[in-house]
Homo-oligomer: A and B are copies of this chain.
């Protein structure tokens, strides 16, 4: 039996999300079925984060236990061949100690949110960005973002379906930058509440469009009430960038 750490890229567009569900394709199920076809084993793939429908991953971390003896090369090539035509790529696989857990060992998560800010809708970026045609004041967004960094009760920015024990999280970074007509929001924390990044981005977009002042972010946070949420940004622009573990 070997416990493997998997690093996975996927386009979230065609999936109902990471997690296996009865009603349609998920990233988890697609990977588990590929591994079953390779090994005959029914092994569960556990991830660092459970992304929603339409949310992408540049490098999701996960782990799985496999009885069959495999090389890294064989596991990677086999999974990549068997997940076709689904847009999933197993970037790497490495053996890890039994105690290593993709979710519970993880000490940091990074997300990226991409907004396309131009009048014309996306063509090449379709399903990969949130399109906002109206002018956005990036400096105002950045002011609002600063108010979210740190340890707060993020109840306002939490989905009703969130399973986290506590609504208090520490947001280490929420950096806003631009590249051409794209606005990029980079978020880092040990962990996030369900919908937290999309909820924060949705409110920051209201600030960028002038519908909220930067200080309204503080009021929303202080309200500790989901009803105070301005807007939940769509999944298309969200990317799970990476999971951080002790020692790398």
Q: Residues of A at under 8 Å CB distance from B?
A: 9-11, 56, 58, 76, 80, 87-92, 118-124, 126, 128
Contact = CB atoms under 8 A, between A and B. Distances in A.
Contacts of A122: 9, 89
A87 B119 CA distance: 15
A91 B91 CA distance: 35
Contacts of A80: 120-121
A123 B10 contact: yes
A124 B76 contact: no
A88 B125 CA distance: 10
A89 B121 contact: yes
A126 B76 contact: no
A104 B104 CA distance: 62
Contacts of A11: 123-124, 126
Contacts of A87: 123-124, 126
Nearest to A126: B87
Nearest to A9: B123
A118 B89 CA distance: 11
Interface centre among A76, A119, A126, by most chain B C-beta atoms within 10 angstroms, is A119
Nearest to A128: B124
Contacts of A92: 120
A74 to B, nearest CB: 12
Contacts of A124: 9-11, 56, 58, 87, 128
B76 A120 contact: yes
Contacts of A91: 118, 120
A157 to B, nearest CB: 26
A88 B10 contact: no
A204 to B, nearest CB: 24
A3 to B, nearest CB: 20
Nearest to A84: B121
A51 to B, nearest CB: 13
A90 B92 CA distance: 39
6 contacts: A11-B123, A76-B120, A80-B121, A89-B123, A92-B120, A124-B128
A168 to B, nearest CB: 33
